[in-house]
Structure 1
Amino acid sequence: MSRPAAPEALTEPTERAGRGWTAALSLANGAIWVGWYGPLQILLALQAAELAPPGTAKESVLAWVTGAGAVVSMVANPLFGALSDRTASRFGRRTPWILAGVLGGAGALVLLAGAGTVAGMALGWCLVQLTLNAAFAAITAAVPDRVPHGRRGAVGGWLGAAQILGVVAGTGLATAAGGVVAGYLACAGFTVLGALPYVLLHRDPALPAGRRPARALLAGFRISPRRHPDLAWAWLTRFLINLGNALALLYLLYYLRDVLHRPDPDGGVLVLTAVNAVTLLGTVVVAGFWSDRIGRRQPFVLGAGALMTVATGLLAGWQTWPGALCAAALLGVGFGVFTSVDFALMTQVLPAAADRGKDLGIINIANALPQVAAPVLAAPIVQHLGGYRVLYGVAAGIGLLGALLVRRIRGVA
């Protein structure tokens, strides 16, 4: 007697995802990054300056608020990924969470716009992180649900391009809106509108009711590195390369002001960010397509990590404005390649189709955790252990180690 066929939601996809599906998912992904980075780049800093109590530095308020949000992000992403894995809705596993996440995120941004205290600001930002991570976890998991292995580099490239454009668009909306409240409202509106085409026009494969018992939710977060070594090595690779990149970018303003003595360090950061974004956009999609075409991931991740190591080394050894420009360009090229190809690699080391959302959420901690760890490592290095040369040397070494560890992954070429 033959076994019943597995539900479509729990099988590996074999049919190529259409361009319309990829475009709609990429737009939804970019919209979420608008909701995150309009506040992070502009609005939270302005709000912190307005709400900081007398005698309290605005920098401390901003650090406290964003740090609390980062902690919420690290918990929310795998949690909502696991919940979406178990969602038996006629609209599919992922779409309900995308819709609920962007609507909740827009509401949280509106709440944040009206915050009149630091505590209210922190609560609002934590709610933004909680809700938008619900949507982001579902969007990320939709790729291995619907895209065959051989096409995930290209789709990852388009998602990476949308992420960068979302950061730029969020910053632009926050700047052009004409005030903190208007900026939050503009970002909230864009976040919802950008997700609607995917929610309205595309459906996920449905999971049969009762297929995934909720009582097993917490037990599912235990992933054994011994049983799944490829996943463990891939996680560590992503964490270390992201940590090296975070260390390189964290004190860029202070580096320009205190080491290079730029007359306009704020403008210098803007120029370097623009150079970085242009070179990243120039490689993120191309690298994904190329990786799909030749059927290999590791050489791209290794090469990207090595290139980023060279770029960070330039900040340590060639401390001039031209050196900083070259470093920004090389970091963009390397991180563009890494963003698309590493995403595809990650989807190929997932232990089970039934837990894609949860497992990708755990993997995404390797994106958020470096943002928390970088300040802890960087401050004592700059203040007591040799300054910026040592900081960028350490960042280069960490990134290179992460790139080399990709060779320990056995199941993906």
Structure 2
Amino acid sequence: MASNTVLASPVPSRARTTGLVVMLAIANLGLWLAVYAPALVTISIRIREVRPDDAVTVYGTVTAAGAVFALLGNPLFGRLSDRSRSRFGRRRPYFVGGMLAGTAAVGLVGIAESVPAIMAAWCAAQLAYNAAMAALMAVLADYVPPQQRGRVAGVTGVCNYAALAGSAYVAGFFASSTLLMFLAPALIGLVLVCAFAPVLREPANTGTREPIGVRDFLMTFWVNPVKNPDFAWAWLSRFFICLAWMTLLTYQSFLLINRFGFSNYTVADAVSLASLVLVAGILVGSAGGGYLSDRTGRRKIFIVVAALLAAVGFPAIAFAYDLSTFHIGVAVVGLGIGVHMAVDLALVTELLPDQSDAGKDLGVFNIANVLPQSVAPAFAAVLFATLGGQNFTALYLFAAAFAVVGAVPIAFIRRSR
């Protein structure tokens, strides 16, 4: 139970809201730059250096293990930030501390010489970065008025995925040093997130709090779907749609190497170009989706549109044997990602069971974003084993199906249009 001494978040003026939104977007850019660089580029390269013979299998194992820690860390640290008592506020200690710890852990990944060491360091990094992520997500519910959340979620969503291109470019720039490929994006992310700390004017919160028991701790990872069906349907929708997105992102470098002939040393540049194409689609989809969603007061139809765009884009990727077709498919998927990320977060902030537990509940919701990071590699490993080879055509056709399935639960949500 949240203590009744928790201070309500003040409602900022329009000028302060604008400044807060800009710096929140920059903080999100920094956070995702630090996360995406290793998750999508540098860990796969490091694993191919350490275990070249079975890199795909090892990569799936390492990323799946890290995703478990991310899955646990997000709601846990969201709950802890809800209950935090500090003169620095509720959220600030977690996004600053999380980024500091994440930077140290990513540095260890860069110098690790064995798969177990890489896995342990990456799990620590995921736990730390998800502490920062949980706190930054809660700021949206704490300080941004509901009628502006579509546009704000759209802006922060663009920054999240702009980090895709940025992470690949930064990693590629430091390709001559494995350690710098890990540390440079992490240090840039640390600076950008810490720059948000003085902008967020949280009130000091030093009151008493109720002790948390075993049952309360376990409820950190749970929102009752019977009592909160709309939240549950939104969670299920996000899980399947994000599973589609993660299928593209986690195996993009392997596809480029397998099908288009890139090497360990040239794939970062290829991922950078594909990420730019993806981000271009996201910019259009996010800006248009967030604006139209706020303007019309509707959320659900835009998530359906995102899924339909994926159903077009993923088959183009699946059957692409030249880079132009591949990039067209990536751009269309990017449109879908942009529309989805602009509207989905705004939708769920309207469906939170308890505003005083926003950090915890958004952490539970973010499990649907994190869990696909584990499920996608596991599913791909099973699919490839079943088909007897790395069949990327089948993999991306399944990704299209996941996105379409993700649109179905939206029809059952009642508390939002």
TM-score bin (small chain) = 0.7 to 0.9
Structure 1 residues 70 and 200: CA distance shift in structure 2, 3 A: same
Could you tell me how far 1:162 is from its partner in structure 2? 1.4
Structure 1 residues 384 and 368: CA distance shift in structure 2, 3 A: same
Could you tell me how far 1:152 is from its partner in structure 2? 0.7
- The residue aligned with 1:372 is 374
- The residue aligned with 1:30 is 29
- The residue aligned with 1:293 is 295
CA distance in 2, matches of 1:99, 1:48: 29
Structure 1 residues 104 and 254: CA distance shift in structure 2, 3 A: closer
- The residue aligned with 1:164 is 161
- The residue aligned with 2:346 is 344
Structure 1 residues 277 and 83: CA distance shift in structure 2, 3 A: same
- The residue aligned with 1:210 is 208
Could you tell me how far 1:331 is from its partner in structure 2? 0.6
Alpha carbons 2:40, 2:250 under 8 Å: kept: no
Structure 1 residues 383 and 99: CA distance shift in structure 2, 3 A: closer
Alpha carbons 1:82, 1:357 under 8 Å: kept: yes
CA distance in 2, matches of 1:112, 1:100: 19
CA distance in 2, matches of 1:19, 1:10: 20
Could you tell me which amino acid in structure 2 is paired with residue 199 of structure 1?
Answer: A
Alpha carbons 1:378, 1:391 under 8 Å: kept: yes
CA distance in 2, matches of 1:112, 1:264: 24
Could you tell me how far 1:182 is from its partner in structure 2? 2.2
CA distance in 2, matches of 1:189, 1:269: 21
Which of 306, 309, 327 aligns to 1:307? It is 309
1:134 aligns with 2:131: yes
Alpha carbons 2:102, 2:129 under 8 Å: kept: yes
CA distance in 1, matches of 2:76, 2:413: 26
Which of 199, 202, 210 aligns to 1:201? It is 199
- The residue aligned with 1:397 is 401
CA distance in 2, matches of 1:31, 1:135: 11
Structure 1 residues 85 and 225: CA distance shift in structure 2, 3 A: same
CA distance in 2, matches of 1:293, 1:153: 9
- The residue aligned with 2:364 is 362
CA distance in 2, matches of 1:348, 1:405: 16
CA distance in 1, matches of 2:313, 2:331: 8
CA distance in 1, matches of 2:185, 2:274: 24
CA distance in 2, matches of 1:34, 1:330: 22
Q: What pairs up with 1:87-98 in 2 under 5 angstroms?
A: 87-98=84-95
Could you tell me which amino acid in structure 1 is paired with residue 366 of structure 2?
Answer: N
- The residue aligned with 2:148 is 151
Q: TM-score, normalised by structure 2?
A: 0.87
Q: What pairs up with 1:230-309 in 2 under 5 angstroms?
A: 230-248=230-248, 251-252=251-252, 262=260, 266=267, 271-309=273-311
Deviation per CA, 1:41-81: give whole Å up to 9, x if none.
Answer: 333233323433xx963334433322221111111111101
Alpha carbons 2:302, 2:339 under 8 Å: kept: yes
Secondary structure at the residue paired with 1:200?
Answer: coil
Structure 1 residues 185 and 325: CA distance shift in structure 2, 3 A: closer
CA distance in 1, matches of 2:380, 2:143: 40
Could you tell me how far 1:170 is from its partner in structure 2? 2.3
Alpha carbons 1:7, 1:208 under 8 Å: kept: no
CA distance in 1, matches of 2:380, 2:33: 28
Which of 410, 413, 416 aligns to 1:409? It is 413
Could you tell me how far 1:13 is from its partner in structure 2? 5.2
Could you tell me which amino acid in structure 2 is paired with residue 153 of structure 1?
Answer: G
Could you tell me which amino acid in structure 2 is paired with residue 362 of structure 1?
Answer: V
Could you tell me how far 1:256 is from its partner in structure 2? 6.3
Which structure 1 segments of 5+ residues have no match?
Answer: 1-5
Deviation per CA, 1:239-289: give whole Å up to 9, x if none.
Answer: 11112233355555666677xx64559576654433222111222133212
Structure 1 residues 248 and 162: CA distance shift in structure 2, 3 A: closer
Q: Answer with 69-78 or 106-115: which moved more.
A: 106-115
- The residue aligned with 1:3 is none
CA distance in 1, matches of 2:270, 2:43: 21
Structure 1 residues 162 and 253: CA distance shift in structure 2, 3 A: closer
